[in-house]
Chains A and B, each alone.
Chain A
């Protein structure tokens, strides 16, 4: 039983919290020199250190420390003058040492915030400040594959395979403080926070932030309370791996908890698993069975004590935050507040701006992202930002159109090709043979065929009904699969018919 979201939030106040894990894009792993690239043969990116062999010791990747400090600075955190790693002890086969080297009570960054834009009641953006509790650095685990079971889960599996390629990849955990007072927009704020965080991280260049590949992963905490009452018991929904799912996870949890509370039932403090297919979550471990992680300072690693002068240098070299960059670019491009709000809503503003920065005129960039690309995202059920096309590639398509090498129709086909993984726009043009045909000789045959096929139409045009030529142009375009240069076709037809254009 659930209570509809809007109704639930008119009756209850939601407190949300987000824990985000970001795989850093460092060349080497957190504590060894192994390669971090995605998609290699299982267990080929491993060594004694990341396999946790007896006697092997970790050495901290300085680039990972730097990236974490830059993230902390971008989120307005304080950077610890001295901190240590800690061991989080628990047994799991995809964790080679059966402890995770993480940070516990001495995180590298603490106490920041991130401002996010959420559409207000009239559609214009309103700023919500999300408080950040901490940003810390840890190592990722390997991945288990359970074979023989019905669902790929460990239950019922005949055996398990473990891939340690991911084990030891640097992982930054960004934890918000409880976010309160979001009113009816709890789910939108959660989603906007993750989207904004992703833009910040992308701007810093510290991660490729691909949610679908797991380089950005989210855990969503939700609790409800009646106005004026203390906060309720929270649940934690794990592995919410797309922006859309972040929003859906909050919504479904609000609806589920509201129904229970309304019926006078207790909310159990538990971990829940999110299912992308249904948008719902099912209960996992309850707090009563929670592991005692027996944290203690990692004795194999020296404490981290970033030089304040270096931290100041990193701070000075930070890129503009996405919000500032957005304001600057929208002002430069003369976009109206309403126009940019529409793009924010469609989740394409940053993509449009990036496309402009890559050289496209604003109007064309906007049309591409709100047009064919928004449609493609919709068809695939993903965010536009998750489409496998980069703003620079979109800018190239725009350039090909404005140079006359492509028509609007061909541009759409090129975009489809890029999305289908056929390579760069120029590769798709060459591969699919999509260049505009404006050569009169080459078009002559199609023009003659169109005239021969539709003699009645040809006669009408000859008789002075010039606008009827459209049908003939259409036939030529169809015959050339959209590749013909339409104005040239029209001129050729009229010449053949002896009519002034």
Chain B
């Protein structure tokens, strides 16, 4: 019998639809897989077996149908789920069961997707290794001594470890794409406003965007289509149809497409092995019929500092609500202490060091007398970066770069060096500041670890990502004789 956990989402949905297997069998196979390997990977913070089996039974009863009906999914713990714990990787929300569902959660349920549980993440999505989770790090399935990237390391690792064929992540500065890059999976940050943020616990409102994690480009496209589209409950949601991502993933052609390499996102700061795989992939795009050029986006060099002013500023305000009054942790409420003291003790105990660092940074950047020099200036840089993108898209249909400057790094390697950690998102941050869509997909190995290539497109041209990604993926699979993940070590062996 085939191992149900090795199927793609498309294959799984087809098998369920044709009644070759039941959705409940599929769900059980994945729950078993989680039971077997998650002790080593730690992708999940909460496994909702009952909820998953109940949803699978609904699919089997024919109550829900659709292209993803019966497909299991790993949901990042930043997305609220009614009655199911949602911690955002933080102590401050330990035990909180939201009284409502995020729009993404609702859309997944309506699509018949079977949510297996909630995945690990850097606390409040602040980090690039998932080591800033209050509940312990996630391990990279390729090498359990290494990180799976972050902040969405849990969803990426779950997909890479065959614990689920699909995952949902959120991407504020690269939190879907960088984990995808270092776990050999496909990750997409849609156009800002393309997927509803309603029910996504905010880190940086103007940058946050939920998107798909998958093992193939087509699987990602199907998930993108299921969760995307206008939501009146999110004022920043775009009132337009989802770009034709599934069709583009199936078309999978770069013939005549203009592809430009971003000069500022290559070379210095990128590992040699990463650069080599990237160059080979670009050459392959050229062989496939794309016109490859180079463009310069001179302001991208300021993207990282601008991001580290805008995101913490918004975070300092977004995270103010965690004050112990209405939900979550409460510390020091002994009847003698004042409300302010209880709030302060709670926040001190509930937030980890990285979250505090960013709250302080953001509070400072917004302070009277500093606003213009920091937050105001960063917004100007953001405008310049947007102009760079606009100019580049006059010369090219899509832009490409390595998705991450390096391969997966060892656990603990960058914990004492925040700036080194922040540089993991060098290549991914510009798209967040601009608002355009971007994808990371695997293009090979360096030192035995996956390397991701990033494709960036103009806003609301998410379809172009899938068109290019689909073509590149097909050519690479031909070259490799199968998906890159097939060469990942067996986890049971790794654990032994």
A-to-B contact residues, CB < 8 Å: 48, 51-60, 87, 89, 91, 93, 96-99, 154, 158, 160, 162, 292, 294-296, 299-302
B343 on the A face (CB < 8 A): yes
Q: Please name all residues of chain B whose beta carbon is closer than 8 Å to the beta carbon of A292 when the two chains form the complex.
A: 367-368
Within 8 A of A (CB), among B369-393: 371, 375
B98 on the A face (CB < 8 A): yes
What's the dominant secondary structure at chain A's contact region? Answer: loop
B159 on the A face (CB < 8 A): no
B479 on the A face (CB < 8 A): no
B327 on the A face (CB < 8 A): yes
B202 on the A face (CB < 8 A): yes
B233:A57 contact, CB within 8 angstroms: yes
A56:B320 contact, CB within 8 angstroms: no
A300:B368 contact, CB within 8 angstroms: no
B193-201, B220-228, B451-459: which lies at the A interface? Answer: B193-201
A91:B366 contact, CB within 8 angstroms: no
A294:B366 contact, CB within 8 angstroms: yes
For B198, give its contact among A55, A60, A93 (CB under 8 Å). A55
Q: Please name all residues of chain A whose beta carbon is closer than 8 Å to the beta carbon of B98 when the two chains form the complex.
A: 48, 53-55
B232:A59 contact, CB within 8 angstroms: yes
Q: Please name all residues of chain A whose beta carbon is closer than 8 Å to the beta carbon of B320 when the two chains form the complex.
A: 89, 91, 97-99
A58:B199 contact, CB within 8 angstroms: no
12 residue pairs of the A-B complex, CB under 8 angstroms, read A52-B321, A52-B326, A54-B86, A55-B201, A58-B235, A91-B320, A93-B325, A93-B339, A299-B204, A299-B314, A300-B205, A302-B236
Most buried by A among B201, B232, B321, B371: B321
10 further interface pairs, Cβ-Cβ under 8 Å (given A96-B326, A301-B235) = A53-B80, A54-B98, A54-B201, A54-B202, A56-B199, A91-B343, A98-B321, A162-B325, A294-B317, A296-B313
Q: Please name all residues of chain A whose beta carbon is closer than 8 Å to the beta carbon of B367 when the two chains form the complex.
A: 292, 294
Q: Please name all residues of chain A whose beta carbon is closer than 8 Å to the beta carbon of B236 when the two chains form the complex.
A: 299-302
Within 8 A of A (CB), among B279-302: none
Q: Please name all residues of chain A whose beta carbon is closer than 8 Å to the beta carbon of B96 when the two chains form the complex.
A: 54
Q: Please name all residues of chain A whose beta carbon is closer than 8 Å to the beta carbon of B235 when the two chains form the complex.
A: 57-60, 300-302
Minimum distance in angstroms from A243 CB to a CB of chain B: 35
Top 9 closest pairs, chain A to chain B, by CB: A98-B320, A299-B205, A294-B366, A299-B206, A55-B199, A54-B201, A55-B80, A55-B201, A97-B321
Q: Please name all residues of chain B whose beta carbon is closer than 8 Å to the beta carbon of A301 when the two chains form the complex.
A: 235-236
Q: Please name all residues of chain A whose beta carbon is closer than 8 Å to the beta carbon of B322 when the two chains form the complex.
A: 54
Q: With the chains together, A233 CA to B321 CA distance in Å? A: 35
The interface bits of chain B over 182-220 (1 if a CB of A lies within 8 angstroms of the residue's CB, else 0) are 000000000000000111111011100000000000000
Minimum distance in angstroms from A170 CB to a CB of chain B: 16
Q: Please name all residues of chain B whose beta carbon is closer than 8 Å to the beta carbon of A93 when the two chains form the complex.
A: 323, 325, 339
A296:B199 contact, CB within 8 angstroms: no
Q: Please name all residues of chain B whose beta carbon is closer than 8 Å to the beta carbon of A53 when the two chains form the complex.
A: 80, 98-100, 326-327
Minimum distance in angstroms from A433 CB to a CB of chain B: 53
Q: With the chains together, A293 CA to B197 CA distance in Å? A: 26
Assuming the contacts A54-B88, A292-B368, A294-B366, asked whether A89 and B317 have C-beta atoms less than 8 A apart, the reply is yes
B234:A296 contact, CB within 8 angstroms: no
Q: With the chains together, A58 CA to B202 CA distance in Å? A: 12
Q: Please name all residues of chain A whose beta carbon is closer than 8 Å to the beta carbon of B205 when the two chains form the complex.
A: 299-300
Most buried by A among B96, B100, B317: B317
B363 on the A face (CB < 8 A): yes
CB nearest neighbor in B for A293: B368
Q: Please name all residues of chain B whose beta carbon is closer than 8 Å to the beta carbon of A296 when the two chains form the complex.
A: 313-314, 317, 366, 371, 375
Q: Please name all residues of chain A whose beta carbon is closer than 8 Å to the beta carbon of B80 when the two chains form the complex.
A: 53-55
Most buried by B among A53, A89, A154, A158: A53
Q: With the chains together, A474 CA to B82 CA distance in Å? A: 75
B321:A96 contact, CB within 8 angstroms: yes
For A55, give its contact among B102, B232, B340 (CB under 8 Å). B102
Within 8 A of A (CB), among B226-273: 232-236
Q: Please name all residues of chain A whose beta carbon is closer than 8 Å to the beta carbon of B79 when the two chains form the complex.
A: 55
A158:B335 contact, CB within 8 angstroms: yes
Q: Please name all residues of chain B whose beta carbon is closer than 8 Å to the beta carbon of A54 when the two chains form the complex.
A: 80, 86, 88, 93, 96, 98, 201-202, 321-322, 327
A55:B200 contact, CB within 8 angstroms: yes
Minimum distance in angstroms from B308 CB to a CB of chain A: 16
Within 8 A of A (CB), among B73-98: 79-80, 86, 88, 93, 96, 98
Q: Please name all residues of chain A whose beta carbon is closer than 8 Å to the beta carbon of B234 when the two chains form the complex.
A: 57, 59
A55:B202 contact, CB within 8 angstroms: yes
Q: Please name all residues of chain A whose beta carbon is closer than 8 Å to the beta carbon of B202 when the two chains form the complex.
A: 54-55, 300
Minimum distance in angstroms from A62 CB to a CB of chain B: 12
Most buried by A among B79, B98, B236, B320: B320
Minimum distance in angstroms from A88 CB to a CB of chain B: 10
CB nearest neighbor in A for B207: A299
B327:A56 contact, CB within 8 angstroms: no
CB nearest neighbor in A for B327: A53
Q: With the chains together, A162 CA to B317 CA distance in Å? A: 21
CB nearest neighbor in B for A48: B100
Minimum distance in angstroms from B365 CB to a CB of chain A: 9
Q: With the chains together, A56 CA to B198 CA distance in Å? A: 6
Minimum distance in angstroms from A312 CB to a CB of chain B: 25
Q: Please name all residues of chain A whose beta carbon is closer than 8 Å to the beta carbon of B325 when the two chains form the complex.
A: 93, 162
